[in-house]
Amino acid sequence: MPVPPPSAAADRCRTVTGKVLALLAAFGPDTPALTLSELARRAGLSVPTAHRRVSELVAWGALERGPDRRLRIGLRLWEVGSLAPRGLGLREAALPFLEDLYELTHENVQFAVRDGLEVVFVERIAGRHAVPVLTRVGGRFALHATGVGLALLAHAAPEVQEQVLAAPLPAYTSKTVTDPMVLRQMLADIRRDGYAVSDGQVTLDALSVAAPIFSADGTAIAAVSLVVRADGAQPAALALAIRGAARGIARALPTLRQPC
């Protein structure tokens, strides 16, 4: 009896849910639109299997097919994702303070949470003439390089910190801190000072100042930052505004309705 192709064998070993999640995970910032064959290949599925699952996703609205026949993430999926209680409730509390920060500085304002060993950006207000940044709403980044990531990592559980310090630390620029001992000292300084500074660690021309936002039990649940041009930046002065915004957001949290 002939051995089926690897893709067909793999199809049979995966659940329907696993196949659907693999299809959705195939999309990314660099691949926002894919043909069916590209999508099947990236998801590790046979084309017939991908076609069946994609047809269901298109019918429900999780995927959309453009005039070029390429598939893209659909608005229905965005609607569902926007209801995630951690991001939604925090964003509601934070947005007035983020807008105030932007009006005060006209610089990039960012708001993020930690998800495992990465930081996820929940909101961003971009200054028209501010320094360009690589982050986007819904995007992920390593904890050790960004201002918000450092602020959250400094107040994460010890086991989370040790996981990050033990793993390879990717360098985005020549100034990215990749030495675990140096990073450990930076985290101690952040806890002492109450704010984090990422100077040229993501792009050489940008400096980020960030502060953690604490829940009532003292857990760092999010972080807020300003990203400015590194040349001439005054982190200590920016930290006053950032820490004030972080305290304001923390005070606003108890007023939110908690999800059932």
* Ranges of each domain in the chain: 6-80, 85-255
Instruction: Please give the share of the chain, as a percent, with pLDDT higher than 90.
Output: 57
Tell me what pLDDT residue 1 has: 43
pLDDT tens digits for range 114-155: 989 999 898 899 877 888 777 788 788 999 999 999 999 999
Instruction: Please give the share of the chain, as a percent, with pLDDT higher than 70.
Output: 88
Long-range contacts of residues 2-9, Cβ cutoff 8 Å, at least 24 apart: 5/46, 7/44, 7/45, 7/46, 8/46
CB 85 within 8 A of CB 252: no
Q: Which fold has domain 85-255?
A: Beta-Lactamase (3.30.450)
Regarding predicted confidence, which is higher, 229 or 259?
Answer: 229
- Provide the b/e sequence for 188-214 (b: ≥16 CB within 10 Å): eebeeeebbbbbbbbbeebbbbbbbbb
Least confident among 13-22, 94-103, 169-178: 13-22
Residue 15 has pLDDT above 90, yes or no: no
Tell me what pLDDT residue 142 has: 92
Regarding predicted confidence, which is higher, 216 or 2?
Answer: 216
Which of 139, 109, 106, 105 has the alpha carbon at shortest distance from 223?
109
Instruction: Tell me whether domains 6-80 and 85-255 share a fold.
Output: no
- To which residue do tokens 């360009």 refer? 132
pLDDT tens digits for range 76-115: 887 676 666 555 567 888 889 999 999 998 999 999 999 8
Tell me what pLDDT residue 254 has: 58
Task: Share the mean pLDDT of the chain.
Answer: 86
Mean pLDDT (whole number) for 1-19: 61
Tell me what pLDDT residue 9 has: 52
Q: Which CATH architecture has domain 6-80?
A: Orthogonal Bundle (1.10)
Tell me what pLDDT residue 258 has: 40
Tell me what pLDDT residue 87 has: 53
Confidence of residue 46 (pLDDT cuts 50, 70, 90): very high
Residue 246 has pLDDT above 70, yes or no: yes
Residue 238 has pLDDT above 90, yes or no: yes
Residue 222, strand partner residues: 213
